[in-house]
Chain A
Amino acid sequence: MIEVKGVSKVFSRGGKSFEALRDVTFGVGTGRFTSLIGPSGCGKTTLLKMMAGLIRPSSGVIEIEGKEVTGSGPDRALVFQNFVLLPWADVLTNTAFGLEARGVPKKAREEVARSRLAQVGLTGFEHHYPHELSGGMQQRVGIARALAVEPDTLLMDEPFGSLDTITRHVMQHDLLRLWQETATKTTVFVTHSMEEATLLSDQVVIMDTRPGRVAQIVEVPFPRPRQVGLTDSPAFLEFTAEMSKLLERMQRIDMAIEAKIDAEVGDDG
């Protein structure tokens, strides 16, 4: 269980402060897949990085299985939007990186890395360098690297956000299959896409901006195991359309506020 309790975050730089999150509270059940979705600037990535222990909240706490998060830990692994592979290391070394960080001997960590690479369909690419791979394949390495450390919690920051549409769909379905087949891990997944969130998640946390906060928490009504065909079913389409409308409305209000702020600033000038 991940419990986010009254978390706020104010960034300040050069005398100016920006309220990224205000009093965010929700829970993620153990073994459940939760998506964080919302307009740009709603603080969803900040929140994910707080769970990873890379950013500290200004106030409030995040607890995982009752223990407060104060830094990165072996129970969590992060998958990055832009993959963040080491360009000088081959696929096998990149996949084993998290284990290497923990001092696992070379032979043992490479054995684990090979089996994770097989899981994401990259057998035969162990000795390729990242620049020889497509974006989709690089992110497969990113996922294999996270799975290799056998985390209890998988944190994914818009992992498919920089991929083209077709690759993105393939990756979504492969992740769905992988997640349902393997011992399910508690997963928090940041995304911009309502279809993606609905297909993959048990629970969707919809966030709003200025300041970043939870707008609504929605249970996804589709039972598991889900099949690829789910995305074509009328019930799925209706559900995502409804949710997307809600998101769009929030985005419009946000744009209106922004326009108003711009106008006010303009008046001052």
Chain B
Amino acid sequence: MVDGIAIASRGEADASPRRRSWLEPSRLVGVGAILAGFLAWELYARSLDNNIFFPTFLRMVEALGGLLQDPVFWEAYRQTLIPFVWGWLASMSLGVVLGLAAGLSKTMWQLISPYVAFFHALPVSVLVPVVVVAMGIGLLARSTVVFLFGFFEVMLSTSAGIAYISDDIREMTRSFGMGRLRAFRRVTLPGAMPAIMAGLRIGTGRAVVGMVVMELLLVSVGVGRLVARYRAAFESPELYAVVFTLATFGLVALMLMRRLETYALRWRKDPAGV
């Protein structure tokens, strides 16, 4: 078993844990780059005669500290996150379900695809005023905006994932006479899983964008109201701090989705691939 022995060692190497420590050089470079950015920000802001419009980094951090202790800040986030969670859950679940339906059934695809093509070609921001006119600015309207931002990415990615399962694998499944239901569970679903997970991750990113766009463009509740208030009052350190928290929220959401993706695709050579 010549090839057997050669590969045994490779297999073991592959099985070794690939946990990355914070002290790894690539991580240190990234952390360093961020620190350098903060330093440049601080120095530039200090060099200005007046930093009403451009606060120093340390002033922003100070304002952030204040915000984190302010119940008004947390109430604003609560108001913003409730529609986000509803819209996000709806876009993820409906996106996967309709994506699977469209991927499995030609008729479903023919029914859905004109709508998908139309909405996918449209910048979703344009729909925000339409949704507001139709539904007002309540929970439903705000959830709907988040939903519209996330949904199409998830749906399209899911149906494409099914379409791209290789003909070889379909033929192999057929040759062993596997029934349709079992084949869906054991072949189609895991085969489409990389695309589904990528769709969920990108869709989550877009849902976060939807949440922010809604807040900033039109709605004077939640975090959007905070932003409007600080902007009107020229309280720029607070304004910057709020934006900073939004960015952090987006980052954490994406990081969690990437974790989930890595876990779901742990069989892959490079789970956190494209």
User: CB-CB contacts of B1-32 with A at 8 A, as 1s and 0s?
Assistant: 11110111011001100000000000000000
B186, A100: Cβ atoms under 8 Å?
yes
Residue A251 at the chain B interface, CB threshold 8 Å = no
State the CA gap A170–B211 with chains docked (Å): 61
**Interface check A73, CB cutoff 8 A:** yes
Q: Say yes or no: A78 contacts B169, CB within 8 Å.
A: no
Chain A residues lying within 8 Å of B191, measured Cβ to Cβ, are: 86, 88
- Which candidate, B57-65, B77-85, B173-181, is the interface stretch facing chain A? B173-181
Question: With an 8 A cutoff between CB atoms, is A257 at the interface?
Answer: no
**Known A72-B175, A84-B172; contact A100-B182, beta-carbon cutoff 8 A:** yes
Return A168 CB to nearest CB of chain B, in Å: 10
B255 to chain A, nearest CB (A): 24
Interface residues on B, range: 20 to 34
B11 touches A133 (CB 8 A): yes
| Chain B contact surface mostly | helix
**Chain A positions 35-87 with a Cβ under 8 Å from a chain B Cβ:** 52-54, 71-74, 77-78, 80, 82, 84, 86-87
Could you say which residues of chain B place their CB within 8 Å of the CB of A103?
182
Q: Which residues of A contact B176 (CB under 8 A)?
A: 72, 77, 97-98, 101-102, 149
Contact with B along A102-127 (1 / 0, CB 8 A): 11000000000000000001101100
Given contacts A100-B182, A132-B10, contact A74 B172 (CB under 8 A): no
Distance A98 CA – B193 CA, assembled complex (angstroms): 22
Taking a contact as CB atoms under 8 Å apart, the answer to whether A84 and B190 are in contact is: no
Which of A's residues lie within 8 Å of B, judged by CB?
52-54, 71-74, 77-78, 80, 82, 84, 86-90, 97-98, 100-103, 121-122, 124-125, 128-129, 131-134, 136-137, 149, 166-167, 170
Closest 4 CB pairs of A and B: A101-B178, A136-B3, A101-B176, A98-B176
B residues sitting closer than 8 Å to A (CB atoms) are: 1-4, 6-8, 10-11, 14-15, 168-169, 171-179, 182-183, 186-187, 190-191, 193, 265, 267-269
- Report 24 cross-chain contacts, Cβ distance below 8 Å, ordered by A residue: A53-B175, A54-B175, A71-B177, A72-B177, A74-B177, A77-B176, A80-B168, A84-B169, A84-B172, A86-B190, A88-B191, A88-B193, A90-B267, A101-B173, A101-B177, A101-B182, A102-B176, A103-B182, A133-B7, A134-B6, A137-B3, A137-B4, A137-B7, A170-B3
